[in-house]
Amino acid sequence: MGLAAAFWIMAVVIVAAALGVVFLRNVFRAALTLVLCFVAVAGLYITLSADFLAAVQILVYVGAISVLIILAIMMTREVPQGSPANRLKLPAFIVAAVVLGIMIYTVTKTAWQVSAEAPLTPTTVPLATKLFSEGGFVLPVEIAAVLLLAAILGAIVIAREK
Amino acid sequence: MTIGLEHYLVLSAVLFCIGLYGALTKRNAVIILMCIELMLNAVNISLVAFSRYVVPVLLTGQVFAIFVMVVAAAEVAVGLAIVLAIYRGLADIDANNINLMKW
């Protein structure tokens, strides 16, 4: 019962915050509603008993990515436009509605093989075993490290003053 | 009513489509990046929901969600660097006016 209430509260907050990101005129307020959306998604992870991912969501999205976005908004302040839409409003709306309809139809019509087992809690130790053990995901972890290094170097090179 | 896998997947679809609409219609490049973040979050929600309901003791979906977060962090860092570089050159981040490479 508590889980259902938490899910519905988080779902309403997530959808409202996402609509705020898209429809608010003020860019800075849109960024703040994006932060609210990230926090609510972290709460949703807790209802899915993914405690480690909820902490990572708070650290990476709320802590780092939103700060980067707000910094970029501050540095591009002289743009006087706010957040206007282009001419593709109606076609984009139709595309998004059609994609949404197809996805909801597929999701509700598919007979998912839901397992009845209780989820693992806490997930930190099993996740670490999964990521770093032999036969796990060691190679993708190494590749992700290289990708992050390349992204840091690329961001510095691109954003540096000449 | 108990909350099942379908609820999370429908919520994820709604969030994805809001992000898709925003990414297609917005002209401010920073807002476009924010909408892409919304879409990546929607994908993460569905991955974690699959992990919770389909393979509760394997956690494969959560591992995938971690990799999606890594790629999202890299993407937003490089994307905002590109936005700042464009702003320095053109004094504008309107996606309609950034047409230097348009034929």
- Note the pLDDT of residue A121: 80
Cα(B90)–Cα(B103) distance, integer angstroms: 18
Give the architecture-level CATH label for domain A1-82: Up-down Bundle (1.20)
Kindly report the nearest CA distance between residue B47 and chain A, in angstroms: 11
Q: What residues contact B8, with CB distance under 8 A and at least 6 apart?
A: A7, A44, A48, B45, B46, B48, B49, B53
With contact defined as beta carbons under 8 Å apart, do A98 and A25 qualify?
Answer: no
Model ipTM value: 0.92
User: Per-residue pLDDT tens for B15-45?
Assistant: 999 999 999 999 889 999 999 999 999 999 9
Q: What six digits make up the tokens of A128?
A: 């670490």
Q: What residues contact B13, with CB distance under 8 A and at least 6 apart?
A: A100, A103, A104, A107, B42, B46
Q: What six digits make up the tokens of A151?
A: 């992204």
Query: B37 and A131: CB-CB below 8 Å?
Result: no
Tokens 């980067």 found at: A68
Kindly report the nearest CA distance between residue B98 and chain A, in angstroms: 13
Nearest residue on chain A to B15, alpha-carbon basis = A15
Residue B91, classed as helix, strand or coil, is coil
Kindly report the nearest CA distance between residue B97 and chain A, in angstroms: 11
A46, A59, A107: best to mutate for the B interface, most B CBs within 10 A: A107
Check pLDDT > 80 for residue B3.
yes
pTM: 0.92
Check pLDDT > 70 for residue B90.
yes
- Note the pLDDT of residue A81: 64
Query: A115 and B60: CB-CB below 8 Å?
Result: no
What residues in B contact A60, CB-CB < 8 Å?
Answer: 69, 72-73
Amino acid at B17: C
- Residue numbers of chain A with a pLDDT score lower than 70: 79-82
